[in-house]
Every structure is written in C-alpha cells, then in structure tokens.
Structure 1
Amino acid sequence: MSAPTRGHQATLGQGGPGPYGVLRRALRLLEAVDRHPHGATAAGLARDLALPTAVVEALAEELETEGYLCHLDGRWTLGGTLALLGRQNREELIRVRLHHKLAELRDQLGAAVYFGRYQDGELCVEAVSASDHAPAVEEWVDFRATAHASAIGKCLLGQLDHDGRRDHLARHPIARLTARTITDQEQLMHRLERQPATVPVLDIQEYSLGTVCAAVPVTAGATVGCLATSMPVERVHHLKYAAELLAAQAAPLMLAMAV
C-alpha cells in the first residue's frame, strides 16, 4: 500500500489534539474491533466510536499497513502483529519495526533519522538510520554528556520535570561545543520550560558546526523519547518541512511502541 497522502494524514488528525489524538483513536479502534470476533464493517465501527466512517476507514487502513488490522470480505479483524505482542519476541518486533520506520523517514527526508530515549537518568540514541547520501552527525563528543546542545537532548530534557532537568545538568555540566552553544544554565532552563510541547526543538550548529537538527517528542506509556533528524547547514531551509514530517510520523511510532 502506498504511503498516506497529506489529505489522508489530515483525515487521521481530525477531532483531536495532534498525534496524541490519533494514538487514542487508534487504540479505541483496536478495542472496538476486538469486541467483534467475527469482524466488523467500517460503518459499524464508526457507530461504535461515534466517528465519521471516512475517519475510521482511513485509520483502519493505516493500522492494516502495520499489521494491526486485517480487511477481509468487507470486515475488519485484528491482524497478526497483535498476536505476537506479549510474547518473548515483542522487543525484537518493536526494534525491527522501529528501524523500518526510521528507514522510511530517512528516504523521505534524504537525511539521517534518529530515535532517542531518556532512561535511567541518561540520554540514549537507541536507533539511527543513515546512508551514504544521508550521513549521521559525527559523535565527536558523547551525546550523553551534551544534551544541552543537541536537538535530541533538549527535546528529552524538555519532557522531564524541573528537578529532573536540574539533576541531569548537575551530573553533566554544560560545556561550550561551538560558538552557538548555550552555556548559561539558567538561560537553558528558561528555554526548556517555555518550549511548547507541540513545537519541534532545533539545534542550529550548537552541537557541531555545519550541522542542523530537529527533534519532536515521542511519548508512549513510560517512554520519554523523541524522533530527530540531522542535515548539513546548507539544507537549513528544509528543516521546517523535516520537522513537520517527523511530527506527523510521531503518532504511528507512538502506536508501535505503546501497543
């Protein structure tokens, strides 16, 4: 199945606050299908969920591409992916799906894509999808120690509470990496506290000269994560589009990690 068009994505987003609304509707749709062991039509599911049939159909088609739903003889049933969840290979399944998603995004953007997570008090870049034509940023200073200067780091710190940020910065003191790096802790804290959750976090040559980055939150359950991309500064005019695409794809990624 081809990738959703912009119009398709807009349909999925109707009636809710961004990616979190899409995630909630997807989970409710899976629950509704589960209540019909012999399958249910899109019209029947729409009545169950009090949603327009077109919205249910679009969301069901998206879930079908991920293996969560199956369409047969005009009825929707649960797909094979759900049967694998909860088994010993669940983590491996999620890892494979994550890398597949990142590779799709890399090819769409023509730029490296990353998934980062804040876990056990540390920043971790868990997955990177890069290629010869979309190289990853060179980790010239350990990412774990430079959250203050990277889009990934600032996006993750922004999802912590005030004390969590203070604790991290106490363990990883701010250091100047480029002339653009914020080195004043209070200024950094102020920016993190004022950063809207729906606005992508940017790094304009703060971690590495010649590189710009963008990151958006990916929050599922207890996961504090983010989706990010990096590209040469010569492509800075593409960064806004890249950030919008990351934000649009955050919902499917959240679903993959939450279900």
Structure 2
Amino acid sequence: MIGSVQRALRLLEAVGAHPEGAPAKQLAREAGLPLPTTYHLLRTLTHEGYLRRRNGVFVFGPAADSLGRAGEQRHRRQELSEALAVLGKRLNAAVYFAIYREGEVEVVAAGGTPERPPVQEWADFRSTAHAHAIGQCLLAQLDTATRKEHLSRYPVQSVTPFSVRSKDDLLHRLDTVRRGHVAYEQQEYALGTVCSAIPVQVGSVAAALAISLPAEELHRLRSVTVRLRKMAEATLTTLAFSISI
C-alpha cells in the first residue's frame, strides 16, 4: 500500500465530513495525521484542485467535484445499460443508444442477451457512420453544414460489400431516413447482421435508439423496429438523463 495515498484519502474523508470546511489542525486530528504531514498534504491537494482554502478552512475544490461527477456518470451509464438490457430481452435483439456530440458519433450504451449480443466494434464507429444504421440515423438529423463537415472528415468508403458506395448514395439514403424516421441497413457494417435505428427526442441533441439482429432474422427487423418505437417513450426519461454522460 502507498502510505502517502492512504493519508491523502483519510484527509479528504475528514474534509468531506465538514461541508462548511474545517481548519488544518482539526483535520489533522480527525485524520490521525501529524500536523506537518497534514500541512504538506493540504498544500498538495489544494495545488491540484482537490481542495481550496476559504476563510481559514479547507473545503472540496473543483477537481474533487469532478471525481463525484465521474462516479455519477458511471452510475447513469449503468442505469442506461440496464434499461437497454431490459429492452433487448423483451425484443430478443441487441439494443443501442447513441448520440452525436462534438462532431462525433458516440454509442453511449448497449444491451442485449447471450443469444443476441451487441455487435463488436471492429471498425471505428465514428469514422464509419455512413455504414451503420446508428450513424445514418444521426447524420440524417444534422443540418446541412454539420453533415457536410462530418463527411469531409470521414469520407464515404465501403466497409463491407454491402455498404453505400458514394457520398451521393449516402445523401439519397439520408433523405429516405428523414422521410421515414427510421434507418435500415443490411450487413453494411458487419457481415451477418442487420440493423435499424430510430431518432429519439432528447433536447437539442441528435440521438438514436437502434437494434441489431442476425441476418437470417431479417424478416423480424421491421416488426421489432415498430415495437422498439412503441417502447421508446417509456425509456426516454432514462435516455434524456444520460445525455450528460
């Protein structure tokens, strides 16, 4: 065990017991640390932003707040994964939630069953948005300038023999997605897999719920997508809460 880390953690725990802050001597006593060691750790933790001194007492700083947010984000992500797992079990499909954030396609969470696990990301999801239902659904929600900028960074290229072949083909596909409010693709990203994605309203962020099935279950794709759309409303609270992940 690293003693200095243990001592710093005990000191942070002592600070956490006093929302209004506590002076160095009190913190040293409660943490069971020598006063010189306490002063040294307080200076270090303050310099790193985990603590700040206010009117002679020490309180948590912004870096400590970020640790709390990271824990909260992990909890939100877990809740979202559990919600998608429930959807996946009911639909007998793998289910995904994705958003378009800061110029990138981001799969926030995915859930499935042992028989229908999520597709493995064998080619970067960000650079292959044109080739999967999730990306097509998100790109269709973007304004023209944002979509053009994205495609300038990630040009259309074949990922499998079934992928869209050109930018013009993709733009035509995106028009169809916008009109039908659903993206369908068959083995365009992963051979042996068919997918669909629907846009979901979660504030101003472009977001999508998607499913994937084995290619031999193509006949189920449309009916499962309809069921997904009906079930999505009950999941939107969890999805909207997860946008800040």
TM-score by length of 2: 0.65
| Aligned residues of 1:218 and 1:253 also touching (Cα < 8 A) | no
**Aligned residue number for residue 153 of structure 1:** 135
In the alignment, residue 214 of structure 1 is paired with which amino acid? S
**Aligned residue number for residue 188 of structure 1:** 170
> Which of 150, 153, 156 matches 1:168?
150
**Aligned residue number for residue 98 of structure 1:** 80
C-alpha distance in structure 2 between counterparts of 1:109 and 1:179, whole Å: 28
Greater shift, 217-226 or 233-242, is seen at 217-226
Cα displacement (A) at 1:137: 1.4
In the alignment, residue 225 of structure 1 is paired with which amino acid? A
| Aligned residues of 2:160 and 2:187 also touching (Cα < 8 A) | yes
Cα displacement (A) at 1:196: 3.3
**Aligned residue number for residue 229 of structure 1:** 211
In the alignment, residue 182 of structure 1 is paired with which amino acid? V
Cα displacement (A) at 1:250: 2.1
Partner-residue secondary structure (3-state), 1:148:
helix
| Aligned residues of 2:137 and 2:177 also touching (Cα < 8 A) | no
Cα displacement (A) at 1:92: 5.3
C-alpha distance in structure 2 between counterparts of 1:123 and 1:116, whole Å: 7
Q: Is 2:89 the counterpart of 1:111?
A: no
Q: Is 2:186 the counterpart of 1:204?
A: yes
Partner-residue secondary structure (3-state), 1:137:
coil
C-alpha distance in structure 2 between counterparts of 1:211 and 1:105, whole Å: 19
Greater shift, 160-169 or 128-137, is seen at 128-137
Partner-residue secondary structure (3-state), 1:100:
helix
Cα displacement (A) at 1:93: 5.6
Q: Is 2:118 the counterpart of 1:128?
A: no
| Aligned residues of 2:88 and 2:112 also touching (Cα < 8 A) | yes
In the alignment, residue 216 of structure 2 is paired with which amino acid? E
**Aligned residue number for residue 199 of structure 2:** 217
Partner-residue secondary structure (3-state), 1:127:
strand
Distance 1:216 1:120, change over 3 A: same
In the alignment, residue 183 of structure 1 is paired with which amino acid? R
Cα displacement (A) at 1:91: 4.5
In the alignment, residue 173 of structure 2 is paired with which amino acid? R
Structure 1: 5+ residue runs without aligned partners?
1-86
**Aligned residue number for residue 66 of structure 1:** none
Cα displacement (A) at 1:201: 0.8
Partner-residue secondary structure (3-state), 1:102:
helix
C-alpha distance in structure 2 between counterparts of 1:140 and 1:182, whole Å: 18
Identity %: 39
In the alignment, residue 145 of structure 1 is paired with which amino acid? S
Cα displacement (A) at 1:131: 3.3
Cα displacement (A) at 1:151: 0.4
Larger Rg: 2
Q: CA RMSD in A?
A: 2.1
Cα displacement (A) at 1:236: 0.6
In the alignment, residue 166 of structure 2 is paired with which amino acid? D
C-alpha distance in structure 1 between counterparts of 2:76 and 2:163, whole Å: 35
| Aligned residues of 1:112 and 1:231 also touching (Cα < 8 A) | yes
TM-score by length of 1: 0.61
**Aligned residue number for residue 34 of structure 1:** none
